[in-house]
Amino acid sequence: MAIFSRKKKVEEIVDGDIFNKETEGLSQGQIVLKRFFRHRGAMISLIVLFSLVIFVFSALGFKIFGIGYGGWWKYKITDLPTLRTDGCPIELPGCPTLNLIPGKHFGLGDHPFGQDDLGRDYFSLVMRGAERSLEVMVVIGLVAGALGIIVGALAGFYRGVVDATLMRLVDFIITVPVIVLGSVLGYHFGSKGVLFLALFLGLVSWGGLSRLVRGDFLTLREREFVDAARVAGASNRRIIFKHILPNAIGVIIVNVTLLMSGAILLEAALSYLGFGVVPPDVSLGLLISQYQDSFTTRPWLFWWPGLIIIMVALSVNFIGDGLRDAFDPRQRRRISRKDRAAERQSVDKK
Amino acid sequence: MSSPVLSVSDLSVEFWVDGVWYPAANHINCEVEAGQTLAIVGESGSGKSTVAMAIMSLLASNARVTGSVKVKGEEVLGAPIQKLQKYRGKEVSYIFQEPMTALNPVYTIGFQIMETLRNHFDMGPSEAKARAIELISLVEIPDPERSVDKYPHQLSGGQRQRAMIAQALACDPALLIADEPTTALDVTVQAEILDLMRGLRSRLNSGILLITHDMGVVADMADEIMVMQSGNMVEHGTADQIFNRPNHPYTQQLLASVPKLGSTTMRVLDASQAAAKPVLKLSNVTIEYPKRGRIPAFVAVEDFSLEIFPGEIVGLVGESGSGKTTVGRASIGLLPIKSGRLEVVGQDISGATNKELRQIRRNTGIVFQDPASSLNPRLPIGESIGEPLYLAGIAKDKELDKMVEDLLASVELPRSYRNRYPHELSGGQRQRVGIARALALTPDILIADEPTSALDVSVQARFLELLQDLQSKLKFACLFISHDLGVVDILSHRIAVMQNGRLVEVGNRDQILKNPQDPYTQRLLSAVPVPDPAEQKIRREARLASK
């Protein structure tokens, strides 16, 4: 009921003195930002994702431009401690030591996520894997997103020759299988590392997005508000980015979030073919595909990378949701079923 | 006396929206007898269509309906779906407003009529087809044997509406609900459809429930009238009572806001203004939509000449497809012209570069037909209004804010609306935002492209008042494009009539409305329905006699 009473109050204020009320003019960007910050799911996800990134990257340490941080975790991925047998069932050596039940064994223990079959510390493997997967995801999202939006927008807005040329390029990129390209390139440049892989994947996975953006632009450019903007003296660039793009944002965000979630799996498939993440380096996808046979016997080898993938994919999706809602003026805050039932009862009583 | 085909008693409809029951119709009572027409009149949002949908049990799932609806003595509300399916289409059928969207584009009209028939009767395909052809000839679509295999897009707007009527009549329904059947059509086509419906009513003896906002159509068709306002029935009576002795103030106001031809004093331009240089000058302009793929080039406007002087309002009328909008859009350089000369404020627009065009557009403004589409749905309206000022480099930040406020005030909108999105405003308010944006740069000439066609009559009346006020204050010239002669009559100094891309007649109001020379203008004038049943009857008979 709280929602209703609050809403009512606002309406009363608005109706009371609507003509004389001073209202500060807000730009589109300011309103979008305000609405985004009010989106609870998106804000929680943003915090979760941000903390996860800090946690993951600080665990094993990093080195950028000579400034490095050693990391706070005691094992490196190349360390080979002895396989723990005490406290584990006899057929399951190296089980996780993490124990959240209060008592004698409460605490992280030596190997909170357990050990793999060689005895390597699984926590350090998962942290490194998450680092790699996050890097891949962000780079693919940025590269493919930017390319897809720009190519789609130009093709849809200018039509004609520009459209035909760009779309034939897209045809070409879509028809060549990523896996084949990946394995060929991986054979030659496999040692260049994970960022190279991400960049490459980004360069080939924007085709679908650009098609969708083009389609939206083709319909939106015929709308009268585009003419109105042109009459107002707007340049083509302004029309594309200020007027049409915000109207196409729903399609873009849904597609980019899917692309980013898909990127993790794509990277796993390519790593399996020996391109990108090569052992001893790991990625989450690689960990899962390596240990999928262990699912019944040593399930922790499966859980932890899976958990992190789910956390990342969910937060990305929620943030995308929040952005889309913030851009879409038609979105209102949803009213829960409980409130609805309460309201219905009160109406019926009357 | 026979029992009524439809009797509605104490019908109320409420919708569950955002946690509250919103009433859409309250305690409606009405009856329709066989062979009679009941018209429900009201503005948009008054609950006309809701009542019709409730009769068909087609309301959305968030609706709550109470009361009783009886068709031929049988209760319809709360009936099981199997029973409803038998009764929809057979006992009651529905003619929708927009035939293009109500007919399925992937099936022929013959198929769609046959589908209705075979759903309700035990009929073979060939038998159904014969009946479909019979129906199509009944609604006077030319060449029925071939038309039966045509797809909706192959028919003209009027023919499509006829096909819809044929489908609705397939099972000889006792009651025909026509929801704004002619709103999407031109006046001359509208007159034909109304003639057809009147003929069918007397031939088939079914009752008609006509829903419309057009008082002229009501005067033409209705025996009884029910006036609705925000979900309530405010007045109910015979056509004669409502038109000649309206009791309720709302009915009186509604009738008063209908523009009547020749009711206002003629507006004449000062001699000094007429002597000045024209702000818009089209001489022998031809506009062509270029060839696209296999579709050949289409000449939309041919050899068109018109001059508009400072401070003058010229009304441009014609049917849809006559090229009115094309002229308007070309006048501000949104469309290139093929030949001829087009001067705006003394500058030739035909060969202008982008930079020159931008300069010219500072002196022009345009109000579009559909305010819902012409305002960017993702931009708050304050920003939409301020954009021309910002882009012209006239004002920024605080100064811009101030100017936007002034503009909002000048179109009588509260300043606090500036952060609202277009969908949060009503149609009339949106169109005012459109005007504010068009006038932001204080243009010399304003192009108004059917700005009132999406508005209700009373809203339209206020909008026209506002436009007149602004015009007398700011003294801009205006090309007012409309299909409604009544509206043009109120506003214009001069009227220009277009047909098939050509200018057929231009002159001051008395010349065009009282003494039209061109046969097309005469036909157009005689097709306009007058909101007065007696006069409309005389006009109708005169029109039919002249055929």
Q: Give chain A as a 3 state SS string.
A: CHHHHHHHHHHHHHHHCCCCCCCCCCCHHHHHHHHHHHCHHHHHHHHHHHHHHHHHHHHCCEEECCEEECCCCCCCCCCCCCCCCCCCCCCCCCCCCCECCCCCCCECCCCCCCECCCCCEHHHHHHHHHHHHHHHHHHHHHHHHHHHHHHHHHHHHHCHHHHHHHHHHHHHHHHCCHHHHHHHHHHHHHHHCHHHHHHHHHHHCCHHHHHHHHHHHHHHCCCHHHHHHHHCCCCHHHHHHHHHHHHHHHHHHHHHHHHHHHHHHHHHHHHHCCCCCCCCCCCHHHHHHHCHHHHCCCCHHHHHHHHHHHHHHHHHHHHHHHHHHHHCCCCCCCCCHHHHHHHHHHHHHC
What residues of B are in contact with residue A23 (Cβ under 8 Å)? 415-416, 418-419
Min Cα distance A152 → chain B (Å) is 20
Q: What is the pLDDT of residues B413-433, one digit of tens each?
A: 888 888 888 888 888 888 889
Contact B120, B90 (CB under 8 A): yes
Chain A residues near residue B383 by CB distance under 8 angstroms: 25, 27-28
Q: Do the Cβ atoms of A18 and B416 come within 8 Å?
A: yes
Q: B502 φ, ψ to 5°?
A: -120, 150
Q: Using CB atoms within 10 Å of the CB of residue B473, give its burial: 0 to 12 exposed, 13 to 18 middle, 19+ buried.
A: exposed
Candidates A19, A225, A243; nearest CB to B373: A225
Distance from CA of B533 to the nearest CA of A (A): 39
Does A305 sit behind a cis peptide bond, omega within 30 degrees of 0 on the bond before it? Answer: no
Say if residues A72 and A59 touch (Cβ distance below 8 Å): yes
Q: Which pTM does this prediction carry?
A: 0.77
> Among all residues of chain B, which has the CA nearest to that of A343?
B19
User: B547 pLDDT band (50/70/90 cuts)?
Assistant: low
Closest to B142 (Cα-Cα) out of B129, B154, B125: B154
Is there a contact between B404 and A25 if contact means CB atoms under 8 Å apart?
yes
Chain B residue with minimum CA distance to A225: B374
Of A19, A224, A339, the CB nearest to B19: A339
Of A27, A224, A343, the CB nearest to B374: A224
Q: Tell me whether 0.90 is exceeded by the ipTM.
A: no
The model's pLDDT over B102-136, given as tens digits with 9 standing for 90+, comes to 888 899 999 999 998 988 888 899 999 999 999 99
Q: Is residue B31 scored above 80 in pLDDT?
A: yes
Does A225 sit within 8 Å of B374, measured CB to CB? yes
Compare all CA atoms of chain B with the CA of A233 and give the residue at the minimum distance: B358
What does residue B273 show for φ and ψ, rounded to 5 degrees?
Answer: -70, -40
Chain B CB contacts of A164 under 8 Å are none
A contacts of B366 (beta carbons < 8 Å): 227-228, 231
Please answer yes or no on whether B19 and A343 come within 8 Å at the CB atom: yes
pLDDT surpasses 70 at A24: no
- Contact residues, chain A, for B404 at CB < 8 Å: 25
Question: In the predicted model, is pLDDT for residue A143 greater than 90?
Answer: yes
pLDDT in tens, B201-237: 878 888 899 998 888 888 888 889 999 988 888 999 8
CB atoms within 10 A of CB B420: 18
Indicate the SS3 state at residue B167: helix
Q: How many alpha carbons fall within 13 Å on the CB side of residue B1?
A: 6
Kindly state the DSSP code that residue B24 receives in the 8-state scheme: E
For residue B440, list chain A residues with Cβ-Cβ distance below 8 A.
232
Closest CB to B419 among A31, A246, A249 = A31
- Does the distance separating the beta carbons of A19 and B369 come in below 8 Å? no
Is the pLDDT at A209 greater than 90, yes or no?
Answer: yes
Instruction: Please compute the mean of the pLDDT values over residues B241-247 and round it to a whole number.
Output: 88
Tokens found for residue B37: 């027409």
Is A339–B380 a contact, with Cβ atoms under 8 angstroms apart? no
Lowest mean pLDDT among A101-105, A300-304, B109-113: A101-105
pLDDT of A20 higher than 60 = no
Sign of the Cα torsion B517, B520, B521, B526 reads positive
Please give the average per-residue pLDDT across B439-457, as a whole number. 86
Give me the helices (H) in B249-318, please.
249-256, 271-275
Residue numbers in A near B413 (CB within 8 A): none
Q: In A184-218, which positions are buried (b, 16+ CB within 10 angstroms) versus exposed (e)?
A: ebbeeebebebebbbebbbebbbbbbbbbbbebbe
Residues of A with CB under 8 A from a CB of B: 3-4, 14, 18-19, 21-28, 31, 223-225, 227-234, 238, 243, 246-247, 249, 327-330, 332, 335, 339-340, 343-344, 347
Question: How far apart are alpha carbons B521 and B485 in whole angstroms?
Answer: 11
Chain B residues closer than 8 Å to A19 by CB: 414-416
CB contact under 8 A, B373 and A223: yes
How sure is the predictor about B272, in pLDDT bands with cuts at 50, 70 and 90? Answer: low
pLDDT of B496 higher than 80: yes
DSSP letter, residue B511: I
Asked if pLDDT for residue B1 goes beyond 70, the answer is no
Kindly indicate the confidence band of residue A258, based on its pLDDT and cuts at 50, 70 and 90: confident
Contact between B307 and B281 (Cβ < 8 Å): yes
| A26 with B414: Cβ contact below 8 A | no
Query: How many residues in chain B?
Result: 547
Q: Which residues of B touch A249 (CB under 8 A)?
A: 378
> Average pLDDT, whole number, for chain B?
85
Res. A5 pLDDT band, cuts 50 70 90: very low
Burial of B281 (C-beta count, 10 Å sphere; 0-12/13-18/19+): buried
pLDDT in tens, A160-170: 899 999 999 99
Quick check: B4 pLDDT over 80? yes
The answer for residues whose C-beta is within 8 angstroms of residue B44's C-beta and 6 or more apart is: B213, B427, B456
pLDDT on residue A2: 42
A23 vs B361, B370, B418: nearest CB: B418
At residue B56, the 3 state secondary structure works out as helix
A243 pLDDT higher than 60: yes
Q: What is the pLDDT of residue A214?
A: 95
Residues of B in contact with A233 (CB under 8 A): 358, 361-362, 388, 391-392
Q: Are B433 and B371 in contact (CB under 8 A)?
A: yes
Which of the four pLDDT bands, split at 50, 70 and 90, describes residue A343?
low
Query: Closest by alpha carbon to A267, among A204, A316, A208, A175?
Result: A204
Where would I find the beta strands (DSSP E) of B345-476? 347-348, 364-367, 445-449
Which of B400, B401, B437 faces A228 most closely, judged by CB atoms? Answer: B437
A114 vs B27, more confident: B27
Cβ <8 Å between A18 and B414: yes
Asked whether the beta carbons of residue A231 and residue B365 sit closer than 8 angstroms, the reply is yes
Gap between the terminal Cα atoms of chain B: 37
- Between B449 and A281, whose confidence is greater? B449
For residue B18, the chain A residues in CB contact (below 8 A) are: 332, 335
- pLDDT for A1: 39
Q: Give me the pLDDT at residue A11, please.
A: 42
Rounded distance between C-alpha atoms, residue B168 and residue A301, angstroms: 67
The pLDDT of residue A81 is above 60: yes
Inter-residue contact A339 to A4 (CB < 8 Å): yes
Contact B423 A223 (CB under 8 A): no
Angle at the Cα of B291 (from B98 to A248), degrees rounded to 5? 55
State residue B359 phi and psi, 5-degree precision: -65, -45
Interface test with B, best of A220, A225, A238, A239 (most B CBs within 10 A): A225
The minimum CA-CA distance between B366 and chain A, rounded to whole Å, is 8
**CB < 8 Å to A335, chain B:** 18-19
Q: Which of A25, A26, A224 sits opposite B370 (nearest CB)?
A: A224
**What would the pLDDT profile of B65-102 be if each residue is shown by its tens digit?**
899 998 888 888 888 888 888 888 888 888 887 777 88
The DSSP call for residue B270 is -
pLDDT at A148 over 90: yes
At B292-343, the pLDDT tens digits run 777 788 888 888 999 898 888 999 998 877 888 889 888 888 888 888 888 8
Alpha-carbon distance B219 to nearest alpha carbon in chain A (angstroms): 35
Are the beta carbons of B362 and A233 separated by less than 8 Å?
A: yes
Pick from A142, A106, A77, A92: which is nearest to A279 by CA?
Answer: A77
* pLDDT, averaged across chain A: 79
The alpha-carbon gap from A225 to the nearest alpha carbon of chain B, in Å, equals 4
> Is residue B535 classed as helix, strand or coil in its secondary structure?
helix
Q: What is the pLDDT of residues A217-238, one digit of tens each?
A: 999 998 889 988 888 888 899 9
Residue A9 in tokens: 């109050």
| Alpha-carbon separation of residue B277 from B272, B273, B307, B345, B473 (angstroms) | 10, 8, 9, 8, 20
Residue B391 CA neighbour count, 13 Å, CB half? 27
Does the pLDDT at position A348 exceed 60? no
| Cβ pairs bridging A and B (under 8 Å) | 117
Residues of B in contact with A240 (CB under 8 A): none
CA distances from B340 to A235, B277, B282, B407 (A): 27, 19, 8, 36
Q: How far is CA A122 from the centre of its chain?
A: 24
Q: Contact B378/A23, CB-based, under 8 Å?
A: no
- The reply to whether residue B437 touches residue A232, judged by beta carbons under 8 angstroms, is yes
Beta carbons of B416 and A4 less than 8 Å apart: no
**What are the chain A neighbours of B21 within 8 Å (beta carbons)?**
347
What 3-state DSSP class applies to B133? Answer: helix
pLDDT-above-90 percentage for chain B: 8
CB B22 within 8 A of CB B14: yes
Closest Cα in chain A to B418 = A25
The rounded distance, in Å, linking the Cα atoms of B46 and B52 is 12
Shortest distance, CA B224 to any CA of chain A (angstroms)? 36
* Amino acid of residue B385: I
Considering only CA atoms, which of B345, B302, B437 is closest in space to residue B383? B437
User: What is the model's pLDDT at position B262?
Assistant: 65
Asked if A266 and A183 count as a contact pair (C-beta separation under 8 A), the reply is no
State whether B375 and A228 contact (CB < 8 Å): yes
Name the residue with higher pLDDT: A107 or A311: A311
**Closest-CA distance of chain B to residue A166, Å:** 19
Contact A246 B414 (CB under 8 A): no
